[in-house]
Structure 1
Amino acid sequence: MTESDSGLRERLVDAGVELLAAEGLPALTLREIARRAGVSHGAPRRYFPTHLELLSAIARRGFADLAGQVHGKPATADPRTRVAVLARTYLEFALDNPGMYELMFRHDLLESGHLGLRETSLPLFELLAGLVAEVRPQADARQAAGALWANLHGIAQLLRWRSLQLAVGDEDFAPLLDAALAAHLGAEDGR
């Protein structure tokens, strides 16, 4: 791939990221991405043979952004605090980037084996599972982390749909996050 090929490939992904942020997942068509990138509607197929491969490249960018936010947080030695920071970062990312968030976790729409998507998404889960193992060494860390992640995902989705605000009467997700962490990690005092 030449430098100009690499540049056009990135420009297509950039256009897709911008379109996703502006208009959401339903607007993410090859034709519209090509138009926004300033190329013919057939040009994306040279770099992304299928629409799913282009969507996967866009999602990979989202996972890289989320990972950058997670790893950019100040370090702390306490694993429970690190889980809480990771969980808060995840919820904030979901609420600040609804289109990207929706795409990232739609592995039914993505070419998960292509373009390093698994290699980009799974390290975040492994980080969470490792931290959960430190907090709850007696538990099956992958299962406990999966349950916590599912809970966080549900909180994010229900907040985005404004269902939780209606049900709990609060815009702040901190009490819900605290409840989820206590449910999956146990009480902070170890009980």
Structure 2
Amino acid sequence: MDLDQGLRGRLVRAGVELLREQGTAALSLRETARRAGVSHGAPRRWFPTHLSLLSAIAREGFADLAGRIDTALAAAPPQPRARVAALARVYIDFAAAERGMFELMFRHDLLQSGYLGLREAGLPLFRLLVGLVAECRPEAPRAEVAAGALWAALHGMAELRNWGSMQLATGASDPAPFLDAILTAHLGENA
């Protein structure tokens, strides 16, 4: 690895650490450079804009989430619904454990910016979900639509849980019954 690639990686790692410790509001080029131990102008070589730095950090989030899902699926039972449930649990748990990263990964301005192909970074996970939904519901004409609706429900549940709204409204803090209800609603009882 050449020195410049090492610096780029160091800046991204510093940004990830900063995000975990202080949230998205703390992610500036200047503070990331300070954390990485370089001059405040150094990040501009790799990240000409703030959005480009945020996109690189968000890509790390997608890679982390994909790795966690791969690990969970390797340990999950082979039945398609059990595999969807494992993926869904990881998604919900990731959203709770990595709140700042989760928020950053799905920021509209970053996804629209096109920096570093961020929008495409999450597509393999969605394709995985589509494949699993198709296995659960082989009769469904468009697995993409069913998977999109399932993802929307999971994402909404994750956000409501993170905001405290779900617990406030229902009195429940355990996401398991809600997760099961979402899977039943989108995959049926016996999928």
Number of the residue aligned with 1:162: 164
Once residues 165 and 179 of structure 1 are traced to their aligned partners in structure 2, the CA distance between those partners, rounded to angstroms, is 16
Number of the residue aligned with 1:62: 61
Number of the residue aligned with 2:116: 115
Once residues 24 and 39 of structure 1 are traced to their aligned partners in structure 2, the CA distance between those partners, rounded to angstroms, is 21
Aligned-residue Cα RMSD (Å) equals 1.5
1:31-42 mapped onto 2 (5 Å cutoff): 31-42=30-41
Q: Structure 1 residues 86 and 112, CA, compared in 2 at 3 Å: closer, same or farther?
A: farther
Once residues 62 and 168 of structure 2 are traced to their aligned partners in structure 1, the CA distance between those partners, rounded to angstroms, is 30
Number of the residue aligned with 2:7: 8
Deviation at 1:110, TM superposition (A): 4.2
Classify the secondary structure of the residue corresponding to 2:116.
Answer: coil
1:145-160 mapped onto 2 (5 Å cutoff): 145-160=147-162
Number of the residue aligned with 1:141: 143
Deviation at 1:115, TM superposition (A): 2.4
Once residues 69 and 3 of structure 1 are traced to their aligned partners in structure 2, the CA distance between those partners, rounded to angstroms, is 29
Instruction: Compute the TM-score of the two structures, normalised by the length of structure 1.
Output: 0.93
Of 173-182 and 136-145, more deviation after overlay is shown by 136-145
Once residues 79 and 113 of structure 1 are traced to their aligned partners in structure 2, the CA distance between those partners, rounded to angstroms, is 33
5+ residue gaps in structure 1? none
Once residues 122 and 136 of structure 2 are traced to their aligned partners in structure 1, the CA distance between those partners, rounded to angstroms, is 22
For the pair 1:51 / 2:50, whether they are aligned, the reply is: yes
Number of the residue aligned with 1:95: 96
Once residues 76 and 141 of structure 1 are traced to their aligned partners in structure 2, the CA distance between those partners, rounded to angstroms, is 21
Number of the residue aligned with 2:23: 24
Number of the residue aligned with 1:182: 184
Deviation at 1:105, TM superposition (A): 0.8
Deviation at 1:121, TM superposition (A): 1.1
**1:34-70, CA deviations, whole angstroms, 9 ceiling, x for partnerless residues?**
1111111111010112211111110110000000000
For the pair 1:173 / 2:175, whether they are aligned, the reply is: yes
Number of the residue aligned with 1:82: 83
Kept in 1, the 8 Å contact 2:33–2:42? The answer is yes
- What is the number of residues matched between the two proteins? 188
Classify the secondary structure of the residue corresponding to 1:109.
Answer: helix
Percent identity at matched positions?
Answer: 66
Deviation at 1:138, TM superposition (A): 2.1
Kept in 2, the 8 Å contact 1:53–1:110? The answer is no
Kept in 1, the 8 Å contact 2:55–2:116? The answer is yes
Instruction: Compute the TM-score of the two structures, normalised by the length of structure 2.
Output: 0.93
